[in-house]
Each structure stands twice: as C-alpha cells, then as structure tokens.
Amino acid sequence: MSRPALTDRQAEILAYVADAIRRGRPPTLREIGDFVSIKSLNSVYDHLHRLEAKGYIQRGRGARNIVLVHAEPMSVCPTCGRGAA
C-alpha cells in the first residue's frame, strides 16, 4: 500500500526533517521554516500536519518531537532536487 503523494514543498520539508533526524536532532518549526523560506510558523505546522496525516511522520509534544514513519529516508527532495545543507 503506497502513501498519498506529496507536494513539492512537503517533499522538501520531509527531506530536510529526515536529514536533521539522521544527524541526531529533529528540527524545530523555525528551523524548518528558515530552510524552506516560510516565515509563518503556522504554515510550517500545517505542512507537518499534512505529512503526519499522509503517514510520513509522527509528532508528539515538544518542539523537536518528530519521528519518521516512512521506510526510506530521503536526503534530497525527489521532485525539486533540493536537499538539506
């Protein structure tokens, strides 16, 4: 069973989150927003909420509580080619 498709922005955020987690520390909303040039933390929250609804991540309480659910973490967004620095 495949997961729902991601928008380019969602794929970019997921790649950044996956890379940050592999480096040992999930990113905050502000760090994600800075990476994808979104100033509104509410917009970042909405993207994370959609990623969670689509089954790619799970979120808990706390600023850095993001867990990857997908089996193959991405280091580069497959649609936009942009990866985490």
**The model scores a pTM over 0.95:** no
> Domain ranges in the chain?
8-68
Instruction: Give the residues of the chain that fall short of pLDDT 70.
Output: 1, 70-85
Question: Strand, coil or helix: what is 73?
Answer: coil
Q: What is the CATH number of domain 8-68?
A: 1.10.10.10
User: What pLDDT, on the 0 to 100 scale, is given for residue 3?
Assistant: 79
